[in-house]
Amino acid sequence: MMMIFFIDSRGNKLNVTSVEEWMRKGKAPALDHSLKLFNELKSRGIQIILITARREHLRSATIDNLVNVGYYGWTRIFFR
């Protein structure tokens, strides 16, 4: 059995369950350059489609988080 781990910004090893618990909290910060690009594309009238590796059961938390940090107005979002 293969175990998948993630490393957080403080160097702590996290497993998938820990990462999904963090995702459910909806506290992920916006990445400045990504948000700037997102808003630039949106201002030019480009329809934006978001693709995420997050699972479908995290849809609500993910969308709330995206909107709260400034990502809104996309056309569609696809989950794994």
> What's the average model confidence in pLDDT over 59-72?
96
Instruction: Please tell me the predicted confidence (pLDDT) of residue 15.
Output: 67
Half-sphere exposure of 69 (CA within 13 A, CB side): 17
Q: What is the tens place of the pLDDT at every residue in 1-46? A: 555 556 666 777 666 777 788 888 988 899 999 999 999 999 999 9
Instruction: Please tell me the predicted confidence (pLDDT) of residue 42.
Output: 97
Taking residue 52's Cβ as centre, other Cβ atoms within 10 Å add up to 14
Per-domain residue ranges of the chain = 5-78
Cβ partners under 8 Å of residue 66, min gap 6: 50, 72, 77
Residue for token pair 């480009």 = 46
